A and B are shown apart, each in its own frame.
Chain A
Amino acid sequence: MRTSLNKAYMRFRQRPLLWIISVLIIVAYFFCGFFNDKISLFPVGGIKTRTFDIAPNSTSSCPNQIFGWSFDNDVIRLNYDHLAINKKNIEIFYKKKDGSITELAKGYSPGIPEDSNGSFIATTKVLTVDVNNDGHPEKLVVSAKADTIFTRKLAAIVAGVNTHFNDKRIPLEVVLKGNDKLVVYFEQNPLINEEVAVFYDNYSSTLKTDATGAISFDNMNTLRNTVNIMYQHDKTFYLTSYTVEGHRMLSKEHISAIEDLAIILLVSGVIIIIICIFRRYRRRIKNG
């Protein structure tokens, strides 16, 4: 027993760093068991740390957006054109993790329910606006949809996360398919081989949906900055906006994430310095 202990000690003395690292990895394995029940793939604190805000669109990221979402650090903001839309008429729905749809309490509770999967849609009463500039006002049904980073992370982990609200109250809806396609749904059915007007930033065009009701986007950043899709049916115009949240450079969350990385590097640096001092000290003892 004593001899084997001596042998182990000698081996430790020959390669102390390797043994320390091996023990640390075993400890990591051990502790791993305590954390496996936590979902460690979502932003810290979960979706409940975010808040809602509804504001006139002076802060909108898209100039031609009358109804759309934007993301500002922890705040998920619904921007609306206050000349056309009455704030009191706005209804917000969210999709639960189990796939059901629930309306957010009136008065817009600023906190986001924990059972939300991160997809939101806002609607308002039918507007009467001269959409095509012919001097006669037309009916305009507007909605705005947002998929937050939570939805997208859930989609990355769980295949087949459904962000399609598929609700009668939302006649025109778009659903992100893959990373570069939007499927346009009209009255709960895909809009197949139909022309829709697409506009965002300074771009405006008419695109035709394919056999699956999808239109393609070359650039994911387009969806980050809100894309608007308009469809005309029976003298009524339907307008929906869609925004996909992405991480933003040097945002509060980004800086916070970088801080975590900085802590990792700092801890590593301190350990490296300690090991270097230890090795130098050992070398000095060896050399007498």
Chain B
Amino acid sequence: MDKYFPKLRWVILILGFAISTFGVYIIGKRFTQDYVPVFICPINREGTIDGACYKLSHLNGLFGVTPWVDIGLFFLGVALFIVIFGRMLCGFLCPLGFIQDLVFKFRSSINGSSVIRFGSRDNSSVNLVKWGFLFVFFGICAFGINFCDLCPVKAVTPLIAGGKLELHMSFFVTVIVVVGSFFKYRFWCNVCPLGYFVGVFHKFSLFRLKKNCQACTECGYCYEACPMEIKSIYTERKKSNITTCDCLFCSDCIKVCPEDQALKITFLGKAIYTSSREAFFYNNSGLQGKKDEP
């Protein structure tokens, strides 16, 4: 399992993208419940599932029209997804996350120029942008500016499924996201308002990123690999639960961790992906796809 977890993540990402973008073509089914708190554009009518993004960013419309029972059910559904999956949805299901991963993979495959890291100093300005997006996402719709006009997902999934839309600023933001993703892994996730909203409730999430501080040698590989540049992964020396609101559960930190049992992702306390020397050498020495020597 440990060897194949990163591959499993890719399989789920691809399936999630296919289902959320043109699931009706594939399985003919479309669900009306939009509880999943990720950017899956509901304007695309070919997706099997919709994201909760539209309703969350148009709360004025939700409270004005929808019956109270439906509003309660909606928030209950969203809360359930947040508690069960947390930001794992960003790492495993988000269509924009998949696009960003693809762009970054493309950069790696052509041996592109060096990766940009924000660093602790620039992280403060990145946080400002994140708060700005959060303000637009939750508040500005009431004052006339619609987050959908900015949303980069609107310029990806509906277009791929066949719906030609007027893109306006989405075009502009999508270009920034694609360019940014080329130089920085999961560029948009650093400022994503919905991801941040989900991450705020990380303490309730059943998925956790845990660290065995005794096993950790502070090599810093995990920090180097982390797309969100979470410093506490390697600086934390006391707590075992190192899940933060930024953690996407992308598992890149575990993939590069050379120590047995130093980092692990758990579900209800049970480890589902643990760092190990064997997996470290397997993932980082080009052994993938080769059979084990007897």
Contact = CB atoms under 8 A, between A and B. Distances in A.
Interface of A: 15, 17-18, 21-22, 24-25, 28-29, 31-33, 35-36, 38-44, 149, 152-153, 156-160, 178-180, 218-222, 246-249, 251, 253-254, 256-258, 260-261, 264-265, 267-268, 271-272, 275-276, 279-280
Contacts of A18: 116, 118, 122, 125-126
A271 B174 CA distance: 13
Interface of B: 22, 24-25, 27-32, 42-43, 45-46, 54, 61, 65-66, 112-114, 116, 118, 122, 125-126, 129, 132, 136, 144-146, 148-150, 154-156, 158-176, 178-180, 182-183
Given A220-B28, A276-B113, A267 B167 contact: no
B175 A40 contact: no
A87 B26 CA distance: 37
A44 B144 contact: no
Does more than half of chain B's interface fall in helix, strand or loop, or is it mixed?
Answer: helix
A180 B86 CA distance: 29
Contacts of B161: 247, 254, 257
Contacts of B163: 43, 149, 247, 253, 257
A265 B43 contact: no
Nearest to B160: A261
A25 B146 CA distance: 15
A152 B32 CA distance: 12
A103 B221 CA distance: 69
A156 B126 CA distance: 33
11 contacts: A17-B183, A32-B145, A33-B144, A36-B146, A43-B165, A153-B43, A156-B43, A221-B28, A254-B162, A257-B158, A260-B159
Contacts of A29: 132, 136, 150
A179 B167 contact: no
B169 A268 contact: no
A218 B24 CA distance: 11
A276 B112 contact: yes
Contacts of A257: 158-165
**What are the 6 tightest A-B residue pairs by CB atom distance, in nearest-first order?**
A247-B162, A219-B28, A254-B162, A268-B178, A179-B30, A257-B164
Contacts of A267: 175
A74 B171 CA distance: 24
Contacts of A221: 24-25, 28
A49 B185 CA distance: 41
Contact of B175 (A15, A31, A180, A264): A264
Given A246-B24, A257-B164, A261-B159, 6 more contacts: A24-B176, A42-B165, A43-B165, A180-B29, A249-B22, A264-B178
Nearest to B143: A36
Does more than half of chain A's interface fall in helix, strand or loop, or is it mixed?
Answer: helix
B144 A220 contact: no
Given A22-B129, A32-B149, A276-B113, A218 B164 contact: no
Contacts of A248: 162
B74 to A, nearest CB: 11
Contacts of B116: 17-18
A151 to B, nearest CB: 10
A117 to B, nearest CB: 15
Given A218-B28, A219-B28, A25 B129 contact: yes
Contact of A15 (B122, B166, B168): B122
B171 A275 contact: no
Q: Which of A22, A178, A248, A257 has the most CB of B within 10 A?
A: A257
B43 A41 contact: yes
Q: Which of A17, A28, A38 has the most CB of B within 10 A?
A: A28
Given A149-B45, A257-B159, A268-B178, A280 B28 contact: no
Contacts of A31: 169, 172
